[in-house]
Amino acid sequence: MNASPPAQRPGVFHGDCRQDGATFSDATVIARGLATGSLGCLLGLLLGAGAWAGEVDTPTAEASADQPFSLQQALKLPDWLRVSISYTAEPMANPIGGAAQTSAWIQDTDLDLQVGAGLGKASTDWVELDHWSLNLNVNHVAGDVSYAGRIGAFLAPQTLAYPTGFYPTELSLERDAGTSWIGLRAGVIPINSDFDGTLMTAPILDSYVHSALNNTYNIYAGNIPVTPFSALAARLDLHPHESLAVYYGWFDLKTAIPVITSLGAPVNLTPTKVGDAHILQLNYTPKGAVAATPTLPAELLSVGGFTTDFQGEGVYGSATWKSGLRLGLDDRVWIGAAYSPNFSLNQAPSFIGGGVVVQGVVPNRPQDLLILGGSHAGLSSSAPPAYPNRPYEGVLELGYRLQLNPNLNLQPTLQWIFDPSGREQPTPGILTTSVQISLSL
């Protein structure tokens, strides 16, 4: 994701895991724990969550544990309405290095709602009306957003490091291509929307915590609207072949902040540039490529370019493939890069990164992921408003995602930040530690 700005430490939970003498499934406990504030419920869930990871002997228990809790089913919602909630927290500390040894907590709660006649049908059975849906997404960010600056880093080590507040991130009308070859989306949307066919992103990058590795190739150009920021925009999706997808997006950058602030986002943000952004991206999946799994994305080659009024232009791309080595049950290797020639306009005009994500390296933990990645971000001293006086900032990230059940995972992570460039004076390299917490209902 873009180098991000940041967010209140959550309060202590209180409550009970039972009600009227009844007990609940793990995922139901999560939902009630978040709603009532029961830390004991959540801790109990974590301690007993090994069952889903492969420690269950009885077929009945295993089948039950493999089924994620669904808010959709729990609320008995109709097929034409889809609702989901996700919660992610990124507590982080740096015991070694940096301008100061300190810590921070930041979190994001995300609500998605989709309304459409075809949501409960197979796409092969759709009529024209079934292709269309209305999408709504809202985010609430809370916590300490000042962490990167306090430790002397230029790029945020937390993906969620955005200004705290409520963000009405998306309100759009969409035509899903389904089995046809054309789709579109228009309204208030971000570039990296959580639906298929997003721009400036590759799915494998979502495995990482550092903002330079996660999401948008560290493209750092003014008001580019990256979730939770959004803008008035339109996106056209073309699928001329089963292996090929072409995406074009237009974004009105002068609305990137005014639109969401008028709807309740933080009001102390000022647009740095105005104008339009145009993005063209091509995704190619080779014939016979390894398909996506519940834990790993499909093999993919993606290339694209962007141009923005008053902010310059650039190119980007990535490749994701299966290594063919016996690294675990499955794996994906990736490389990615971005470049903008406008050093006077773009604070981070170059980026190169790569890594590997391996599934099932530990016996009896087939759903866990081992995550390794690194990046080098070239920095510009002539692009306002920040003036890093160092030529680059790099990061090496090592993480392990514990998939405790289909709804909940914990991801302990270590980062080593090379040449921290957030301050004028030289700053020692930084070792950060964190445990990302992700819950989806």
331, two tokens: 């794996």
- Residue 345 or 213, more confident: 213
Q: Output helix, strand, coil percentages for the chain, rounded to the nearest 5.
A: 15, 40, 45
Mean pLDDT of 190-215: 87
* pLDDT digits 0-9 by tens, 96-135: 999 999 999 999 999 999 999 999 999 999 999 999 999 9
Which single residue is written with the structure tokens 């270590």? 414
Residue 47 has pLDDT above 50, yes or no: no
- Residue 86 or 261, more confident: 86
Instruction: Give me the pLDDT at residue 226, please.
Output: 87
Mean pLDDT of 363-375: 96
Which residues share a beta bridge with 248? 236, 280
Residue 59 burial (CB < 10 Å; 0-12/13-18/19+)?
exposed
Which secondary structure element, helix H or strand E, spans residue 73, and what is its range?
Answer: helix 71-74
Angle 39-47/26-36 helices, nearest 10 degrees?
A: 160
CB atoms under 10 Å from CB of 228, counted, come to 25
For residue 100, the number of C-alpha atoms closer than 13 Å in the C-beta half-sphere is 11
- Residue 80 or 423, more confident: 80
Decide if 347 contacts 377 (C-beta within 8 A). no
Mean pLDDT of 345-369: 94
Q: Lowest-pLDDT range, 146-155, 243-252, 261-270, 396-405?
A: 261-270
Residue 228 has pLDDT above 80, yes or no: yes
Instruction: Return the amino acid letter for 392.
Output: Y
Q: What is the pTM of this model?
A: 0.84
CA dist., res. 341 & res. 347, Å (int)? 11
Instruction: Give me the pLDDT at residue 198, please.
Output: 81
Q: Lowest-pLDDT range, 42-51, 173-182, 341-350, 397-406?
A: 42-51
Residue 137 has pLDDT above 70, yes or no: yes
CB atoms under 10 Å from CB of 287, counted, come to 7
CA dist., res. 393 & res. 378, Å (int)? 7
CA dist., res. 430 & res. 436, Å (int)? 18
Residue 125 burial (CB < 10 Å; 0-12/13-18/19+)?
exposed
CA dist., res. 25 & res. 2, Å (int)? 38
CA dist., res. 120 & res. 143, Å (int)? 37
38, two tokens: 């029961």
- Under DSSP, is residue 298 helix (H, G, I), strand (E, B) or coil? coil
Residue 319 has pLDDT above 60, yes or no: yes
Instruction: Return the amino acid letter for 251.
Output: F
Going by pLDDT thresholds of 50, 70 and 90, the confidence category of residue 439 is very high
- Under DSSP, is residue 3 helix (H, G, I), strand (E, B) or coil? coil
Which secondary structure element, helix H or strand E, spans residue 86, and what is its range?
Answer: strand 81-89
Going by pLDDT thresholds of 50, 70 and 90, the confidence category of residue 359 is very high
Residue 404 has pLDDT above 90, yes or no: yes
* pLDDT digits 0-9 by tens, 235-286: 999 999 989 999 999 999 887 777 777 777 776 665 555 688 999 999 999 8
Mean pLDDT of 188-205: 83
Domain residue ranges in the chain:
26-440
Residue 36 has pLDDT above 60, yes or no: no
Domain 26-440 has CATH 2.40.160.180: yes
Which residues share a beta bridge with 366? none
Instruction: Give me the pLDDT at residue 40, please.
Output: 40
Mean pLDDT of 221-239: 86
- Residue 221 or 291, more confident: 291
22, two tokens: 């009844």
Instruction: Give me the pLDDT at residue 309, please.
Output: 81
Mean pLDDT of 314-342: 95
Instruction: Give me the pLDDT at residue 269, please.
Output: 61
256, two tokens: 């990137």
Which secondary structure element, helix H or strand E, spans residue 151, and what is its range?
Answer: helix 147-151
Instruction: Return the amino acid letter for 394.
Output: G
Mean pLDDT of 205-225: 86
- Residue 192 or 148, more confident: 148
Residue 315 has pLDDT above 80, yes or no: yes
Mean pLDDT of 172-181: 94
Instruction: Give me the pLDDT at residue 229, please.
Output: 87
Mean per-residue pLDDT over the chain, rounded: 83
CA dist., res. 167 & res. 260, Å (int)? 6
Going by pLDDT thresholds of 50, 70 and 90, the confidence category of residue 54 is very low
Residues 6+ apart with CB under 8 A from 114: 81, 82, 133, 134, 135, 136
Does the CA dihedral 207-208-209-213 come out positive or negative? negative
Q: What are phi and psi of 434, to 5 degrees?
A: -155, 165
The three-point CA angle 343-349-352 to 5° equals 150
Decide if 264 contacts 166 (C-beta within 8 A). yes
